[in-house]
Amino acid sequence: MVKVNLHPSVYEWIEEMAKITKPDKIVWIDGSEEEKQRLIKEALETGELMELNQEKLPGCYLHRTHPSDVARVEDRTFICTPTKEEAGPTNNWMDPNEAYKMLYSLFDGSMRGRTMYVVPYLMGPVGSPYSKVGIELTDSIYVVLNLRIMARIGDVALKALGNSPDFVKGLHSKANLDPEKRYICHFPQDNTIMSVNSGYGGNVILSKKCFALRIASYLGKKEGWLAEHMLIVGVEDPSGNVTYIAGAFPSACGKTNLAMLIPPEPLKKLGYKVWTVGDDIAWMRIGEDGRLWAINPEAGFFGVAPGTSYKTNPNAMETIKRNTIYTNVLLKEDGTVWWEGMDGEPPERGIDWLGRPWTRDSGEKGAHPNARFTAPASQCPSISKEWENPKGVPISAIIFGGRRAKVAPLVYEAFDWQHGVYVGATMASETTAAAMGKVGVVRRDPMAMLPFCGYNMADYFAHWLEMGKKIPNPPKIFHVNWFRQDENGNFIWPGFGENLRVLKWIIERCEGKVSAKETPIGYVPYVDDLYLDGLDIDKETVEKLLEIDKELWLKEAEDSREFLSQFGDRLPRELVEENEKLKQRLSK
């Protein structure tokens, strides 16, 4: 381990947690290659990992979680603030004193017979003034190896921390995986996260949603920046200029596919390229030039495997060919992996995610629907050369997206920042058959942050509005909807790589190169300004994609107002004004 004169509070906290959890030994993680190999060897011996075919999938391993422990547990996730109002109506709340008392009793002796790994990790590029340090204490090698992919761990993080007491504390123990006593608790005022009785990545890789969104969103409000559930993508035009876009999408809306988009042939021939900066999280600050600059705080991708294929996301498939940890996928007879929605025919037989023999005729799913891959971002073929730039990248446009069958047009631009915040605060998706029993239920998910905001969402909206006043050159804000349907329930827009055609219009709007049609909901493209060459779609169909149905939008405005009303007097009046203005414009 690198010799760093750490602040005494670091050792005091580790000692205190060790006294409670009582591990047999404590191991500090340095992030070296030798250490990685040692941990893998140990995990293979205990069965925590299984080796995959090293010729076909070099450096790849399989992990299975407990059957009761396969996804994020939103109902067991708490924001622990002195008052319930600080957490707000969209978060589960617990009194911090009560929470600590309960958690310490669950953690009492939970690491007996185990090793406590001390994992210092850095969120953000090395040397960036925007990066932050966390330390996770865990009894899971799976967590250590995942953190190694998802963040920059060990000595590099200790050097960044130096003698500062300013780090995010994270304590995790699998304990006995009791689902009834599973808790993921966040203490924003204390910079602390605690997770117990889970081994599933989304609940235990504390760098991810817990730190990078819930704790960071609170820090952002306090320090004057934004921590957002957003991809960051760079679009390079034929002359070599790159425009960076940040985008927020609820699940099942094609976020990862957009982050790793491959241009359709006609645009590729013109010289367009797309570069991935981040697929999930953006930390954004105001730069010296008055623009909003973003870093991706993560170093890897923690992606959903089912549905990922060469058809939907070739770049992701190339990324996960090596040095990847697969969780809850099907193991094939040749020592490789498979999941539903992968290319080609399903294998005849294999071992399913529960470790049981499986055949393609069994009628059972081979992989869990939330099966995952954890892979280094550096392996992505479309990774931007700027992805680790300590300054970040300048954001020209922010996109909010949803899955709407009838209401939202293919794309529209907000009138200004305040209107854009309203668009983000009321964004919604309709449930698909896969997501819920009922299809077409509208779920509001403001800025795609509903499960990830670490404080009262009304205050979060106010913070967005405040940021808008401080950014001299703010990004333009847009809304997209790739999922509009015709009378027969078929998608009208082809989606996937073709979405670059919409991004092209967005960029041209940012550059003032094209005009737009003013409608009650915002600025919509003129059909002739959308690049449609080589696309089998007529102008009439595109007109339908851009139509605004006033009756549907009046209902949308009513539903939005009802959703916002849960925030009571804390809701910024600007959002009520925007709702009123929308209704007035629609009624004209």
257 is in an annotated binding site: yes
- Residue 350 assigned as binding residue: no
Task: Of 397, 453, 407, give the one whose Cα is nearest residue 427.
Answer: 407
Cα dist. 341→47, 53, 312, 329, 330 in Å? 28, 21, 9, 12, 12
303 is in an annotated binding site: no
The H-assigned helical ranges of 396-486 are 417-425, 457-470
Annotated ligand binding at 185? The verdict is no
Distance CA 393, CA 417 (A): 20
Residue 404 sits at φ, ψ, to 5 deg, of: -125, 130
Alpha-helical runs (H) found in 306-353: 314-319
Q: Tokens at residue 224, please?
A: 């004057």
- Residues serving a catalytic function are 253
Position 55, amino acid: E
CA–CA separation, 387 vs 381, rounded Å? Answer: 13
Give the DSSP letter of residue 200.
S
| Dist. CA 243–CA 237, nearest whole Å | 8
- Ligand-binding annotation for 372, yes or no, is yes
Alpha-helical segments (H) within 63-154: 84-87, 96-107, 141-150
DSSP state, 363?
S
Q: Is the dihedral of CA 257, 259, 260, 263 positive or negative?
A: positive
497 labelled binding-site residue = yes
Which 3 state secondary structure label does DSSP give 28? strand
Residue pair 516/524 in contact (Cβ under 8 Å)? The answer is yes
Q: Is 200 annotated as a binding residue?
A: yes
Does 370 appear as a known binding residue?
yes
**Residue 53 known to bind ligand:** no
Contact indicator for 529, 505 with CB cutoff of 8 Å: yes
Whether 187 and 80 have beta carbons less than 8 Å apart is answered as yes
Closest CA to 371 of 311, 307, 323: 307
Q: Of the candidates 420, 433, 318, 432, which has an alpha carbon nearest to the alpha carbon of residue 378?
A: 318
Is 403 annotated as ligand-binding? yes
Task: Give the largest CA-CA distance in the chain.
Answer: 72
- β-strand pairing of 50-51 with 349-351: unpaired
The answer on whether 252 is annotated among ligand-binding residues is yes
Nearest to 544 by CA among 490, 501, 586, 476: 490
496 marked ligand binding residue: yes
Q: What is the Cα–Cα distance from 132 to 171, expressed in whole angstroms? A: 17
User: Measured between alpha carbons, how far is 332 from 52 in angstroms, rounded to an integer?
Assistant: 9
Nearest in space to 70 (alpha carbons), one of 447, 352, 279: 352
Q: Does the annotation list 366 as a binding residue?
A: no
Is residue 498 part of an annotated ligand binding site?
yes
How do 393-401 and 476-480 pair as beta strands? parallel
β-strands 282-286, 325-327 pairing: unpaired
Distances (CA, A) of 3 to 28, 30, 155, 163, 387: 12, 11, 9, 11, 29
Q: Is 278 annotated as a binding residue?
A: no
Which SS3 state, helix, strand or coil, does residue 89 take?
coil
Residue 209, annotated as binding a ligand: yes
Using an 8 Å Cβ cutoff, are 23 and 139 in contact? yes
Residue 251 marked ligand-binding = yes
- Residue ranges for the known binding site for Mn(2+) are 209, 229, 280
Known binding residues for GTP are 252-257, 372, 403, 496-499
Residues at the binding site for substrate are 72, 200-202, 251, 370-372
Which residues fall in the annotated binding site?
Answer: 72, 200-202, 209, 229, 251-257, 280, 370-372, 403, 496-499
